[in-house]
Amino acid sequence: MRPSKRLEKIPPYLFAELERKIAAKRAAGVDVISLGIGDPDTPTYSPIVTAAQAAVADPSTHTYPTNRGREEFRTAVAGFYRRRFGVELDPDTEVMPAIGAKECIFNLNLAFLDPGDIALAADPGYPVYTGGPLLTGGEPFLMPLLPERGFAPDFDAIPATVLDRARLLFFNYPNNPTGAIVPDGLFDAAVELARTHDILVVHDNAYSETTYDGYVAPSFLATPGAKDVGVEVFSLSKAYNMTGWRCAAIVGNAEAIEHYWRLKSNIDSGLFEAVQLAGAAALQPALDADVRAMNAVYQRRRDAVCDALSQAGVHVTPPKGSIYVWAPIPPGFESAAAYCEHVLEHAAVVISPGGAYGQSGEGFFRISLTTPDDRLLEALERIRRL
């Protein structure tokens, strides 16, 4: 059976491929440890589960949700943005639930790109920044994130002909996969670029709550002028251990959110209202302590990974945010994929090849910190022995 040409344009989704390899090895009896996917190993915090249980038992959540979202959820997101980032949002027009950030980022391509239009995409970056444009008839333009620039894209290096056709800009800090925090002035430069070239900025805020060493991540929307040109996609997946719940919000520019709503009202029927009520419970100040405790766990694991890598001769700056360590592959391997294949074959440890996040990720690999300490230490020991 032949799929559409647009589907054939994109490579298989990285983690689908990894999951297939892990399953094959495990079926053959190998004890594989995966440091591949960024999926928290700790359960969702109990106040969120308790709120969800009550919400599921409430018949008012059982009907089709509206795509606008429950007032409780929109108000909770607005309250969180005020408390956490000092950003004022109108819960009626500047906040809407999304069925995870992935859905939202993908659908923004459908809402804003026509054939021939361009989405500027951080490279390396979350794969939907490039798969989304390709699947919706647009084109991604890769903006390299390089260590020597603090993993900031160089807007001045984007050709004028590309900027003429650019409609969207996707980036994210704290960054997946590099662990970088937002370099000084980058958000202001994005606002300026968007104003000059009529681009919608999409800041993917999946990791603002997952930070270390006292670093506090800002929202893009706290940048002067940001709300005029952009939106932020805030995900509850990582900081609240809610990846399976599919709970996120798009916040910011009301006109952009209106277009996203119009698109979605033709595609899906919104986020289960019990999940919205659970999300509202997650964003209360009482949960801040759980998030801090989780960050302490990740910080400890981050230090263990950085120490083990340095003992193996690979020196990395410990990231101040996200749940990843991004490191150069050792000499002697022709590509990151070849090194990761080697680690899987000989140490039965899954790590992600940087090239899978874009061509500028080549030469690097990513370790996720979402594996219990004992298994993480065992995996690091296996890699060290290699």
276 binds ligand PLP (CB under 6 A): no
Task: Catalogue the E-assigned strands of 227-381.
Answer: 230-235, 248-252, 324-328, 349-350, 352-353, 364-368
The candidate with the shortest Cα–Cα distance to 143, out of 322, 359, 338, is 359
67 binds ligand PLP (CB under 6 A): no
What SS3 class is residue 133?
helix
Per-residue x/- marks for ligand PLP, 24-53, CB under 6 A? Answer: --------------x---------------
Q: Per the structure block, which two tokens stand in for 76?
A: 């909770």
Q: What are 350's strand-pairing partners? A: 34
Closer Cβ to ligand PLP, 15 or 333, answer by number: 15
235 binds ligand PLP (CB under 6 A): yes
208 binds ligand PLP (CB under 6 A): no
| Smallest separation (angstroms) from ligand PLP to the CB of 38 | 5
The kind and range of the H/E element at 318 are: none
121 binds ligand PLP (CB under 6 A): no
237 binds ligand PLP (CB under 6 A): yes
283 binds ligand PLP (CB under 6 A): no
Closer Cβ to ligand PLP, 221 or 347, answer by number: 221
102 binds ligand PLP (CB under 6 A): yes
Identify whether the C-beta of residue 47 lies closer than 8 Å to the C-beta of residue 281: yes
CA distance 38 to 259: 30
Q: What are 141's strand-pairing partners? A: 120
| Smallest separation (angstroms) from ligand PLP to the CB of 238 | 7
| Smallest separation (angstroms) from ligand PLP to the CB of 271 | 11
The kind and range of the H/E element at 302 are: helix 288-311
211 binds ligand PLP (CB under 6 A): no
Stretch that binds ligand PLP, among 16-24, 111-119, 235-243, 297-305 (CB under 6 A): 235-243
Identify whether the C-beta of residue 143 lies closer than 8 Å to the C-beta of residue 153: yes
Closer Cβ to ligand PLP, 126 or 298, answer by number: 126
107 binds ligand PLP (CB under 6 A): no
- Say which DSSP state 333 is in: -
CA distance 238 to 207: 7
| Degrees, nearest 5: CA angle 77-105-240 | 45
The candidate with the shortest Cα–Cα distance to 322, out of 374, 378, 366, is 366
Stretch that binds ligand PLP, among 45-53, 95-103, 161-169, 345-353 (CB under 6 A): 95-103
Stretch that binds ligand PLP, among 41-49, 96-104, 192-200, 282-290 (CB under 6 A): 96-104
Stretch that binds ligand PLP, among 97-105, 132-140, 188-196, 271-279 (CB under 6 A): 97-105
248 binds ligand PLP (CB under 6 A): yes
Q: What are 144's strand-pairing partners? A: 123
Q: Which of 73, 126, 272, 365 binds ligand PLP (CB under 6 A)?
A: 126
109 binds ligand PLP (CB under 6 A): no
Closer Cβ to ligand PLP, 101 or 193, answer by number: 101
What SS3 class is residue 46?
helix
| Smallest separation (angstroms) from ligand PLP to the CB of 91 | 20
Q: Which of 44, 176, 219, 253 binds ligand PLP (CB under 6 A)?
A: 176
- Say which DSSP state 323 is in: S
| Smallest separation (angstroms) from ligand PLP to the CB of 102 | 3
Identify whether the C-beta of residue 227 lies closer than 8 Å to the C-beta of residue 238: no
Q: Per the structure block, which two tokens stand in for 375?
A: 């298994």
Burial per residue of 143-176, b for 16 or more beta-carbon CB atoms within 10 angstroms, e otherwise: bbbeeeeebbbebeebeeeebebbbbbbbbbbbb
User: Which single residue brings its beta carbon nearest to ligand PLP?
Assistant: 100
In the complex, the residues that contact ligand PLP under the rule CB under 6 A are: 38, 100-102, 126, 172, 176, 204, 206, 235, 237, 243, 248
